[in-house]
Chain A
Amino acid sequence: MKKLLSHMGTLGIYGVAVLLLVVGRVVSADFLTAENMLTILNAVALLGVVASGMAFVTYSGHMADLSLPSVMAFSGIITVATLSLGLLPALVCGVLAGMSIGAMNGFVIGRFRANPILWTLAVAFFMEGFMRFTWSNNQVYPDIAPGSAGAAFIGIFRTDIGPLPLVVVVMLLMLGLGQLVMTKTRFGRETRFVGSSRAAAVTSGIHVPRVVMLNFLVAAFAASVAGVLITSMNKLGVFYLGQGYDFKAVTAVVIGGVMLSGGRGNMLGVLGGVLVIGLLTNIMTFMGITSFRQNIVTGIVFIVVVGLQQYRLRAGGRSSE
């Protein structure tokens, strides 16, 4: 019973999701079809992948990693640029390249306790400069002749596994894996500890710099995967791919019940947050609400949902925030 209650926080978002489903059904008969649900999943898949990594950063009490868009762009460009080595080596190179940024972030923030927002903002700046300079502001095209590694790379985004597109499977996999890591492993528990109280974690002998470093590494890994996917989708790599995914991902993570102060929430909630964002956009498009007004509605829903979550925790005496 107690456990159920503690899950209520994250499951609350599914209440919002169900509410949206009902509203959607009222708006249009075509809304509640398998086809449209798949459309929604497909639309938020990349966001879900990025959010699965961002959640670790937030969970560990480091708010957000603003360098994730540049990680996405970088891993994509490197993948395309190394395609001449073959598909698999290129993918490995791309993901490793993205993760190197995460390693650097994790090291600086874990070891020296640099402010995560400011440090990752600085990294985003100089990575943008670096990528623009190195590739002279150009798009990098893979060679997509049939049978080449480039064609296979382009095909990644366009692969279906059973009824589901590969991206959706990747998202569910990343979120599921994230849930397992977060709740069932030592690393997950240590992250929770660090997020709840860094000082207590230090005192109880947890090697905090390593935990923090791993968190940023996980975030960069997820963003690199998303970067590879988005590059595969766009059929080219360029420095501005992934722009905006930093704030979008934080929004999904926080709406999903992961507290910005750290140590609270889980991946199921993040999935809920991602779904709510997808449902909301889809319904508003169905209703013919233009993107200008969508901005306003999304912003208000965001504040209200997160505000309610915090209010509930405060009322329960479980948060000083």
Chain B
Amino acid sequence: MTPQRTTRWLNENRALIMLVALFGFMSLVAPNFLSLHNATAILKGASLNGIAAIGFTLIFILGQLDLSIGAVVMLSGMLTIGLQPALGWGGCIAVSLLAAAGVGVVNGLLVVKAKINAFIVTLGTMTVTMGLMYLYSAGGSKAIVDFRFADWLETPLLPLLPPIVIITLGLVGGAELVLRRMRAGRNLLMVGGNPETAWLAGLNRDRYQLVGFVLCSLCAGLAGTLFAAGLSSMTSAAVLGTRTLMTVIASVIIGGTLMTGGKGSVLKSYFSVLMLTALFNGIGCLGYGFEVQIFVNGVILALVVLYEAYAIYRHDLLKGQRPDLLKEIAEGRLSPAVEDEEGDEMHSKDRLPLICLTIVAVVGIVAIAAMYFHHSARSSVMMQPAAVAPSETDSGEVDVYALRGTDGQPYVMRNLKTPVIPPRPADPAALPETDAGHWWDLEYAGWDVEKAPMPNSPGDGPQGKRVVLLKAGDHPYWTAYLNGFKKIAEAHGMETKVFNGNWNLDLQAQQTEQAINERPDMVIFAPVDSTGCTPLLRRLNKAGVPVIASNTIPCDEAMKYCLAWTGPDDWGQFRMLARVFADKMGKTGGYAIVRHMPGSSPFFSRTYAPISELVACAPDMKMLAMDTANLEAEGTMQLVSAWLTKYGDELKGLILPGDGFSMTGALEAVKKAGRRDLVIVAAGNSKTGMDSIKIGDALACSYQSAEGDGATAIHTAARWFSGEKLAPVNYLKKHIITQSDVANYMPAQW
């Protein structure tokens, strides 16, 4: 009996055991993992998911499900930041919690009173809540400039314990106490585990479920509110919500709460949130990317689900068996009867796993073969001399200006012309959205900013310097970015380490702490969100780390805290693109714009740069429609097809947010409608887009070198290490690719 009891004990406490084991393991193998600063970072990083997991545990205990928590996190966060200037902290938190509770009440009533399955109800309210959040934020970010509350939340009062962690611990502890020791909590467990007994005991099941849904939404709302308050800003990029939902589901299950209800523990859920946060942190310390993190996360979840299912399966098999008799059979004292018949059936059943294993094995072989084919095909392409050999200067150093990327263009350019900045209008918000002045703060962010105190350049050159790159996420563009980045880092003799934010502001906030913990000579920061990065850049600046921002331009407030920014001039590029577009259309006719992903900065630049430019330079042109298709080919096809039917010949041109999936989808719609006369321009420049320009399907795309983007960021860092003075804003080369010169930019970088 003892080994069984041990197993049970191990299983009951698996979240804590995994947490301790993982912490021990990472402390041993992962550099910079074991430090007070990093431990605080993990605790802080676990607060968003930790608080949301409290409510989610309760809803699981009740045997229900709530898919809307991610959306509620985002709505509450957005309301908190949006209303803070008007209502103050007390008011805005109250309103956002009320909104969250409102969603909970709707969920609860629909499940309890209308008796619709919770999966369906919350899937529906998730969509509705996201829609409300988008409407409120107009697809952009919100930020406040008052950091006092954020600072208070995030500064440790005692070692390891900033208020945000204390609040989380308090809520977790309180909820656990109620669940274990108080009548209400035990009733909740009974309602979830055995509704009939609960009914017999006189408990109102409906009321408990309703309260459960409201509590779940409230927890999600509070999590979102505190998250947004801690950053003094909020993003509307949907990935924050989806990842929160997925992580919370995973951690509640790993913590041992049953989806069928009746069993669960808030504390264990919190332990597994901590475990997953520490796991991501540790894998980052080891230098691996998001792919390894999500893989390990999946394996852990799969093992837990499998173990739980298997335990029940074993239990069912053994049900009704008498172990003492089995023992006698084994000793030969009792001859088993009716063995043959049973054996036959067992035999036929046992073929199933064999078949499965065979299929899996076959496919494994196919996959490996495929990878082999793929790589051999790749390497034959690589054989071509893509990059020009670096020429060496007199001092023996590599001349980085002579290095060329895979498309044959130089990685970095010398002395690009500084653009002329128009004066800022007195009140940009008062101007209409079609006026360029309305967007002045976004377009010319960072040119005219009084910088916070900056660390001084060591002045001893880039050799041997350690640079941490916080990149925004994974995308083929970013793979090419990293190629350029590493190439130039190598040329300068710099060491690099990369963290991948996976488009998730929460993750990037955690990685900022990790980057500080690494004590690098420089951080290159590619923001997930242009305003959400403000407190992160501020933290880096306070920790005395020099920062160069890259790719997405941070807002004015954030630019205070970085030495410089390098990246594409998205607004400028799209103004040039719009002029090429207008010329081709003879400055007349209707056009439509497919917008970028809500929550990103191109969502605005790639929409309003062309609109305002065309209003100024081709007033006869008419903007017929604009909408986002989330950069998906099918969505874009659907959208453009509907526009083509609705506007017919009135629609003469299309402006696309990207030349990959958006281009593919738009071209399909155009071909299906037989409207090849449509003028199409897009942000570039990928293989798909340039192929379309080459054969004349599209008119033009912008030249945005991904490799150059990465290379320029690290090269600018090198210039700073050598003591050069940096301009606050450093644009990449601007150019519009058309059929006449598209060959110069091929093969494509991505």
Contacts and interface: CB of A to CB of B under 8 A. Distances in A.
A81 B371 contact: yes
Contact of B127 (A104, A110, A254, A298): A298
B49 to A, nearest CB: 15
B301 A235 contact: no
Given A125-B297, A128-B298, A310-B115, A96 B124 contact: no
A130 B299 CA distance: 11
A126 B125 contact: no
B722 interface: no
Interface stretch (A4-12, A113-121, A175-183, A265-273): A113-121
Interface string A24-50: 000010110101101100110010000
B564 interface: no
Contacts of A108: 306, 309
A77 B579 CA distance: 38
A42 B641 contact: yes
B349 interface: yes
A125 B126 contact: no
A126 B373 contact: no
Interface in B663-717: 664, 668-669, 671-673, 687-688
A296 B246 CA distance: 22
B117 A261 contact: yes
Given A118-B259, A121-B246, A303 B121 contact: yes
Contacts of A236: 688
Contacts of B296: 129
A292 B625 CA distance: 14
Nearest to A109: B309
A306 B116 contact: yes
Contacts of A290: 627
Nearest to B629: A291
A294 B643 CA distance: 16
Interface stretch (A13-21, A185-193, A207-215): A207-215
A88 interface: no
Contacts of A234: 633, 661, 664
Q: Of B115, B302, B671, which is in contact with the most chain A CB atoms at under 10 Å from its CB?
A: B302
Contacts of A42: 637, 641, 672
Contacts of A30: 645-646, 648
Contacts of A321: 115, 117
A43 B120 contact: no
A124 B308 CA distance: 19
B326 interface: no
A254 B642 contact: no
Interface residues of A, number: 102
A209 B352 contact: yes
Contact of B309 (A104, A115, A314): A115
Nearest to A297: B131
A146 B371 CA distance: 24
B493 to A, nearest CB: 25
Contacts of A302: 120, 123-124, 127
Contact of B646 (A78, A82, A112, A286): A286
Given A234-B664, A291-B628, A141 B125 contact: no
A104 B373 CA distance: 25
Interface in A281-303: 281-282, 285-286, 288, 290-296, 298-300, 302-303
Given A39-B672, A234-B664, A307 B370 contact: no
Contacts, number: 268
Of B598, B629, B634, B673, most buried by chain A (CB within 10 Å of CB) is B634
Given A103-B360, A292-B131, A303 B309 contact: no
Most A-side CB within 10 Å, residue of B131, B297, B371, B672: B131
Contact of B374 (A110, A132, A140, A293): A140
A170 interface: no
Interface stretch (B76-84, B180-188, B285-293, B533-541): B285-293
Nearest to A285: B642
Contacts of A28: 646
Nearest to B138: A292
A126 B299 contact: yes
A111 B353 CA distance: 9
A260 interface: yes
Contact of B124 (A112, A119, A261, A300): A300
Contacts of A126: 294-295, 297-299, 302
A96 B292 CA distance: 25
Assign chain B's interface to a size class: 35 or more
A192 B301 CA distance: 30
A138 interface: yes
B263 to A, nearest CB: 14
Contacts of B119: 63-64, 260
A296 B313 CA distance: 42
Most buried by B among A117, A124, A290, A303: A303
Contacts of B116: 303, 306-307, 310
A291 B603 CA distance: 13
Contacts of A78: 366-367, 370
B359 A293 contact: no
A36 B644 CA distance: 10
A137 to B, nearest CB: 4
A132 B135 contact: no
A213 to B, nearest CB: 7
Interface stretch (B407-415, B473-481, B583-591): B473-481
Contacts of A296: 127-128, 131-132, 135
A251 interface: yes
Nearest to B311: A112
Contact of A213 (B299, B352, B479, B687): B352
B363 A97 contact: yes
A281 B645 CA distance: 14
B305 A115 contact: yes
A112 B371 contact: no
A141 B660 CA distance: 12
A247 B369 CA distance: 32
A133 B476 contact: no
Given A128-B291, A254-B120, A292-B139, 11 more contacts: A42-B641, A96-B359, A114-B306, A118-B249, A122-B299, A126-B294, A129-B295, A235-B688, A285-B642, A295-B134, A306-B124
A-B interface, 8 closest residue pairs, ranked by CB to CB distance from nearest: A129-B295, A125-B298, A126-B298, A295-B131, A100-B363, A299-B127, A132-B291, A299-B128
Interface of A: 28, 30-31, 33, 35-36, 38-39, 42-43, 46, 63-64, 77-78, 81-82, 84-85, 93, 96-97, 99-100, 103-104, 106-108, 110-115, 117-119, 121-130, 132-141, 143, 157-158, 165, 207, 209-210, 213, 230, 233-236, 238, 244, 247, 250-251, 254, 260-261, 281-282, 285-286, 288, 290-296, 298-300, 302-303, 306-307, 310-311, 314, 321
15 contacts: A28-B646, A30-B648, A35-B673, A39-B638, A78-B367, A93-B370, A97-B363, A108-B306, A112-B309, A114-B306, A132-B474, A157-B668, A158-B671, A230-B634, A281-B638
